[in-house]
Structure 1
Amino acid sequence: MKIALTQERIVFALAVLLFAGFAIVLPNFLTAGNVLTLIRGVSVLGILGLGMAVVVIGRGIDLSIVANMAISVAWTLDMADRGVPLGVALSLGFGFVVLMGLITGFLVAYVEIPPLFATLAMGAFIYGFGRAALLSQDVIQMPAHAGILNLAGTGHVLGVPMPIILLAVASLLAFLFLRYTRPGRTIYGFGDNLQAARITGLSVRPMQVAQYVISGIVAFAAGIITATAVESMNTRIVNGTLIYDVILVVVLGGVGLSGGKGGVRNVLVGTLLIGVLLNGMTIMDVQYTVQNVVKSLILLVAIVVDSLVNPRDEQTAQQGDI
Structure 2
Amino acid sequence: MAFLRNLNQERIVFAITIAIFALASLMLPGFFSAENLVAIVRSISVLGILALGMSIIIIGRGIDLSMVAIMAMTVAWYLQMLNDGTPDGFALLLALSGVIAIGLINGFLVAYADVPAIFVTLATASFVFGFVRSQLIDTDAVPVPDGHWIEFIGSLRFADVPIEVFIFAALAFAAFIFLRFSKWGRYVYYAGDNPEAARNAGMPVRPMMVLRYVLSAISAFTAGILTAGSLQSINTRVVNSTLLYDIVLIAVIGGIGLSGGKGGVRNVLVGAALIGIMLNAMTILDIPLLYQNLIKSAILLAAIIIDGLLNPRDEQTAQQGDI
TM-score for the superposition, normalised by structure 2: 0.97
2:188 pairs with 1:200: no
2:163 pairs with 1:136: no
SS at match of 1:233: strand
Query: What is the alpha-carbon distance in structure 2 between the residues aligned to residue 109 and residue 61 of structure 1?
Result: 13
Q: Deviations over 1:66-123 (max 9, x none)?
A: 0011111000000011111112211111111100000010100000011111111111
Other-structure match for 2:256 = 255
Match of 1:85 among 84, 87, 101: 87
Query: What is the alpha-carbon distance in structure 2 between the residues aligned to residue 149 and residue 201 of structure 1?
Result: 43
CA contact (8 A) 1:151 1:162 kept: no
Stretch moving more, 65-74 or 87-96? 87-96
Other-structure match for 2:159 = 158
Q: How does 1:117-128 map to 2 (within 5 A)?
A: 117-128=119-130
User: Structure 1: 5+ residue runs without aligned partners?
Assistant: none
SS at match of 2:126: helix
Deviation at 1:241, TM superposition (A): 0.5
Aligned length: 321
Query: What is the alpha-carbon distance in structure 1 between the residues aligned to residue 315 and residue 26 of structure 2?
Result: 48
Query: What is the alpha-carbon distance in structure 1 between the residues aligned to residue 248 and residue 113 of structure 2?
Result: 24
Deviation at 1:131, TM superposition (A): 1.3
2:322 pairs with 1:321: yes
User: Structure 2: 5+ residue runs without aligned partners?
Assistant: none
Other-structure match for 1:14 = 16
Deviation at 1:314, TM superposition (A): 1.6
SS at match of 1:42: helix
Other-structure match for 1:229 = 230
Moved over 3 A (4+): none
Q: Percent identity?
A: 52
Paired letter, 1:312: R
Query: What is the alpha-carbon distance in structure 1 between the residues aligned to residue 26 and residue 33 of structure 2?
Result: 12
Deviation at 1:321, TM superposition (A): 2.8
SS at match of 1:84: coil
SS at match of 2:134: helix
CA contact (8 A) 1:51 1:218 kept: yes
Deviation at 1:228, TM superposition (A): 0.9
Query: What is the alpha-carbon distance in structure 1 between the residues aligned to residue 167 and residue 152 of structure 2?
Result: 11
SS at match of 2:234: strand
C-alpha RMSD over aligned residues? 1.2
Query: What is the alpha-carbon distance in structure 2 between the residues aligned to residue 150 and residue 179 of structure 1?
Result: 35
Paired letter, 2:264: G
Query: What is the alpha-carbon distance in structure 1 between the residues aligned to residue 312 and residue 136 of structure 2?
Result: 42
Other-structure match for 2:311 = 310
CA contact (8 A) 1:152 1:224 kept: no
CA contact (8 A) 1:72 1:96 kept: yes
Query: What is the alpha-carbon distance in structure 1 between the residues aligned to residue 275 and residue 154 of structure 2?
Result: 21
Other-structure match for 1:178 = 179
CA contact (8 A) 1:8 1:253 kept: yes
Q: Deviations over 1:50-73 (max 9, x none)?
A: 000010011000000100111110
Paired letter, 2:74: S
Q: Deviations over 1:35-59 (max 9, x none)?
A: 1211112211111000000100110
2:267 pairs with 1:266: yes
Other-structure match for 1:169 = 170
Other-structure match for 1:282 = 283
Other-structure match for 2:111 = 109
Deviation at 1:135, TM superposition (A): 1.5
Paired letter, 2:247: V
2:203 pairs with 1:209: no
